Amino acid sequence: MISNSEEIKDATQITDILGDFITLKKKGVNYTACCPFHTEKTPSFMVNPAKGSYKCFGCGKSGDAIEFLKEHEAMSYAEALTYIAGHYNITVQSNESDTRYSDAEKHRDGIFATLKWAQDYFFKNLPKNAPALEYLQKRELDKAIGIFGIGYSISGNDLLNSAHTAGYSDNLLLSAGLI
Ligand SMILES: [Zn+2]
């Protein structure tokens, strides 16, 4: 567990954190933006720096900087605090005695690393596979390949064999849902 969470929360300026992901426009004492949680053309997403909160009058989403990171970036509470701490050069202090927590967190990090590897693996397969590439070009999805990291899955055990070569365990591959 993070033991200096209060220090991190006290340092948090909501506009600093949300500003990393969305474009905020000053409006009086508040800020507005197009809501990142639903599609809209006129801004109904309001940020109140004094309260450290946001609220969308279109879809109803609301919260603080931590809630935003959890919802928008799919971060855990600890990840959100760590992200914010990094923003203000605060060193995260953790409570070492809570080992059960860090084991779970380690496993979670392992899954993310495995998925990141797999994403890269699929992406690198695509240029080697002419029919798949031609199919995407025919559907005018060339640009989407780079933007979304579209990849190609080779049939058979290629993923499994490549993962083993790269040093990823069956346990991690299973947990990540890749096999
Ligand atoms: Zn919204």
- Cβ proximity of 14 and 65 under 8 Å: yes
Query: Buried (b) or exposed (e) across 71-87, using 16+ Cβ within 10 A?
Result: ebeebeebbbbbbbbeb
Map residue 55 onto helix, strand or coil.
strand
**Predicted local confidence at residue 119, as pLDDT:** 94
Q: Give the CB-side neighbour count of residue 8, counting CA atoms within 13 A.
A: 24
CA of 108 relative to ligand 1 center, distance in Å = 29
Separation of alpha carbons 63 and 47, rounded Å: 10
Q: Give the CB-side neighbour count of residue 61, counting CA atoms within 13 A.
A: 18
**Predicted local confidence at residue 105, as pLDDT:** 82
Q: Say which residue the tokens 């639903």 belong to.
A: 38
Taking only the tens of pLDDT, the chain with its 179 residues reads 889 999 999 999 999 999 999 999 999 999 999 999 999 999 999 999 999 999 999 999 999 999 999 999 999 999 999 999 999 999 999 876 555 667 778 888 889 999 999 999 999 999 999 999 999 999 998 888 888 889 999 888 999 999 999 999 999 999 999 99
The distance of Cα 26 from the centroid of its chain, to the nearest Å, equals 26
CA of 46 relative to ligand 1 center, distance in Å = 10
CA of 69 relative to ligand 1 center, distance in Å = 15
| Domain ranges (residues) in the chain | 5-87, 99-175
**Predicted local confidence at residue 99, as pLDDT:** 58
**Which tokens hold the place of 56?**
């969308």
In CATH terms, 5-87 corresponds, of 3.90.580.10, 3.30.565.10, 3.40.50.1370, 3.40.50.2000, to: 3.90.580.10
**Predicted local confidence at residue 178, as pLDDT:** 93
CA distances from 88 to 9, 17, 73, 81 (A): 11, 10, 19, 11
Could you report how far apart the first and last alpha carbons of the chain are, in Å?
A: 32
CA of 97 relative to ligand 1 center, distance in Å = 40
pTM: 0.56
List the shell of residues around ion ligand 1, using CB closer than 5 Å.
35, 37-38, 56, 58-59
CA of 23 relative to ligand 1 center, distance in Å = 14
**Predicted local confidence at residue 48, as pLDDT:** 97
Separation of alpha carbons 52 and 117, rounded Å: 36
